[in-house]
Amino acid sequence: MISQEKLTNLLEQTQEVAKVVGSFIRKERQHFDLGKVEHKGFNDLVSYVDKEAEKKIVHALEKILPEAGFITEEGTNTTQAEQFNWVIDPLDGTTNFIHGIPVFAVSIALMEYDEVILGVVYEVNRHECFYAMKGGGAFCNDTKIKVSPAPDLASSLIATGFPYYNFELIDKYLNALKIMMQKTHGVRRFGSAATDLCYVATGRIEGFFEYNLNSYDVAAGALIVQEAGGTVTDFSGGKDYIFGREIIATNTKIQEELTKQIQAIWN
């Protein structure tokens, strides 16, 4: 079991790593060459910036906690450990980055066994560093944050993500959009799940749901939501949201209502 003092130190060091790498990403965006974009799969884009950012993160974290393993998007280091594992998305919102849309973030989480104990999301363009450790509350740039007090879906703004390569569920997504447009203040698609989750945590939106995400998309943001007073589940209301590829995150007050709507569509 890691001590609170060590976890606090790790959180501070991880924030610094995210900010340094975020500065690198921001600088590269200024003269980014579209000709260097690669395809991992259909509409699954990656650039040298993603890869270099991940290398920088892994190199720094190896020094901070040498005994930890890694779960990484770009495969820079895939050696996992029994107790501690860093879960890293070096550039969440790659498509936004490539097209010059200013919503993308660095996401770093630390898991102890199967529990996320530390999360940092650095939104590069707004210079906002969201962070939390287990039991310590959630913060943005040293200011404590909390979820929205909105009491129901009718007074909520909801975010989601759209499928970009697996279109088998496209009809379900369209049905979800129809319902959310009629029952909420509206639906937003920012293009970065890590940022979406932090916006739930800071009360800018009341809920977020998405299917087909990976652990590195959600691990850090999920903890930040929880420490800000929110609730995070999978679509069935269970706890398999890190590796289960589906997530609902809310301000807690609308959790039951939103979950019921999602379940009615997906079941």
Whether 34 has a binding-site annotation, put simply, is no
Please report where in the chains the tokens 């800018």 appear, as a residue. Answer: 204
- DSSP 3-state of 252: coil
What 3-state class would DSSP assign to 117?
A: strand
Is 217 annotated in a binding site? The answer is yes
Phi and psi, residue 258, nearest 5° = -65, -40
- Residue 100 carries which side chain, given as an amino acid letter? G
Is 44 annotated to bind ligand? no
Check: CB of residue 69 under 8 Å from CB of residue 62.
no
Burial class of residue 243 in the structure, from the number of CB atoms within 10 Å of its CB (0-12 exposed, 13-18 middle, 19+ buried) = middle
Q: Is-contact 105 233, C-beta < 8 A?
A: no
Q: What is the CA radius of gyration of the chain?
A: 17
Q: Is 174 labelled a binding residue?
A: no
Q: Which residues, in sequence order, are CB contacts of 193 under 8 Å at separation 6+? A: 92, 161, 208, 210, 213, 217, 218, 221, 247
**92 is an annotated ligand-binding site residue:** yes
Contact partners, residue 149, CB within 8 Å, separation at least 6: 203, 251, 253
- In 3D space, the residue among 58, 50, 33, 52 whose CA is nearest the CA of residue 108 turns out to be 58
CA end-to-end distance (rounded Å), the chain: 39
List, in sequence order, every residue forming a beta bridge with 231; answer none if it has no partner. Answer: 250
Q: How many CA atoms lie within 13 A of 48 on its CB side?
A: 8
Q: Binding site residues for Mg(2+), as ranges?
A: 73, 89, 91-92, 217
Q: Binding site residues, as ranges?
A: 73, 89, 91-92, 217
